[in-house]
């Protein structure tokens, strides 16, 4: 059995509370507050009210201030508020509506009008909540689809390059650790982790004769290899409304740029390189150095760290290098967890 909707009535006149309670009690669960301060506290309690009837003229804090405070707090901003007042002029009505109220009731209260107004606004509130959850669910579904597509593309690039799936797992988790260390929110750092496998997706477009060559590339072959960045951006699309895809595009486009401007493809430098590109650069190089490939043996962790230190302020963002060493225990745990078979 579903619960009755909760209506909170806030008024510092007991007789007004009695009147509104008598009107509403058969249809709604009624909570009352004898002043604005108590009303704010009750509005935050779980289960929260589905609607608030709020008197304007109160002694401790008036209804306008109560409304302002409730609308300023994320956990109460969604609750519809109807002002209750003895008289209302256009100026006061505009003020209340601008603060976020949805309607007005004037005293003396007409029971039928009060019930209909409350019913209407609770119904609207329920519809808005249902729509919000539908949109949220659909957004999650869409993002999961995009994430699945990115993972498939990432695995395709790995097969093309003779890399194991563990490379992108390690590299992407390194990116997440560094993102959090740099102050990213957990959500953004996790998005970076999900986007990072796309860093070398453009290698799908590089001929095997270049991509899989065991020896050093000549000048023409190196030029061809560098085009994997451009191909990656084209595969992912240059623009997107999705944060996940935007981050994947930036990682693919900028992870070979260098702090001193000597990287490719655009020779951008310093903080002109997007943060996710700077993070991916350190993560990718560390894993590439310490992983064995058909054309090279794995470097020791010590040798890889020495190179990263030597390239601080040249190839790599100095701040990210410092944080990489601070987070090295976590980095090495990830390296062990996702080691090559």
**Position 132 confidence tier, pLDDT thresholds 50, 70, 90:** low
User: Is 125 part of a structural domain of the chain?
Assistant: yes
Contacts of 148 (CB under 8 A, 6+ apart): none
In this structure, are 115 and 246 located in the same domain?
Answer: no
Assess whether pLDDT exceeds 80 at residue 203. yes
Residue 209 buriedness (CB in 10 A; 0-12 / 13-18 / 19+): exposed
Summary mean pLDDT of the chain: 88
Which CATH number do you get for residue 222? 1.10.3210.10
In this structure, are 167 and 248 located in the same domain?
Answer: yes
What pLDDT score does 236 carry? 84
In this structure, are 128 and 234 located in the same domain?
Answer: no
Q: How far apart are CA 332 and CA 324, in angstroms?
A: 11
Its pTM stands at 0.59
Which CATH number do you get for residue 46? 3.40.50.2300
Q: What is the mean pLDDT of residues 177-191?
A: 96
Q: How far apart are CA 214 and CA 78, in angstroms?
A: 61
Assess whether pLDDT exceeds 80 at residue 240. no
In this structure, are 46 and 168 located in the same domain?
Answer: no
What are the tens digits of pLDDT across the range 140-170? Answer: 555 666 666 666 666 566 655 555 568 888 9
Residue 262: give the domain boundaries: 161-337
């Amino acid at each position: 059995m579903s619960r009755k909707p909760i209506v909170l009535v806030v008024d510092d006149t007991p007789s007004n509370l009695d009147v509104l309670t008598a009107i509403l009690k058969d249809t709604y669960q009624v909570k009352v507050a004898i002043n604005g301060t108590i009303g704010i506290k009750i509005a935050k309690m779980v289960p929260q009210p589905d609607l608030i009837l709020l008197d304007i003229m109160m002694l401790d804090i008036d209804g306008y201030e109560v409304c302002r405070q409730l609308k300023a707090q994320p956990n109460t901003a969604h609750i519809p508020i109807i002002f209750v007042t003895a008289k209302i002029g256009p100026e006061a009505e505009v003020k209340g509506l601008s603060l976020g109220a949805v309607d007005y009731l004037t005293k003396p209260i007409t029971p039928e009008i009060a019930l209909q107004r409350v019913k209407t606004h609770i119904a609207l509130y329920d519809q808005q909540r249902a729509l919000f959850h539908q949109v949220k669910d659909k957004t999650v579904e869409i993002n999961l689809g995009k994430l699945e597509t990115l993972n498939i593309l990432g695995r395709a690039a790995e097969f093309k390059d003779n890399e194991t799936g563990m490379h992108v797992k390690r590299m992407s988790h390194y990116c997440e650790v560094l993102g959090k260390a740099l102050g990213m929110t957990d959500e953004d750092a996790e998005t970076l982790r999900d986007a990072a496998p796309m860093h070398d997706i453009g290698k799908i477009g590089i001929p095997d004769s270049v991509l899989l060559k065991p020896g050093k590339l000549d000048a023409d072959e190196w030029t061809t290899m560098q085009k994997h960045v451009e191909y990656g951006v084209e595969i992912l699309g240059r623009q997107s409304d999705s944060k996940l895809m935007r981050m994947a595009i930036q990682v693919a486009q900028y992870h070979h740029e260098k702090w001193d401007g000597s990287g490719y493809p655009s020779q951008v430098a310093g903080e002109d390189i997007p943060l996710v590109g700077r993070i991916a650069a350190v993560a990718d190089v560390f894993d590439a150095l310490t992983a064995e490939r058909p054309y090279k043996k794995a470097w020791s962790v010590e040798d890889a760290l020495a190179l990263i230190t030597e390239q601080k302020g040249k190839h790599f963002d100095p701040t990210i290098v410092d944080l990489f060493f601070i987070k090295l225990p976590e980095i090495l745990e990830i390296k062990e967890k996702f080691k090559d078979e």
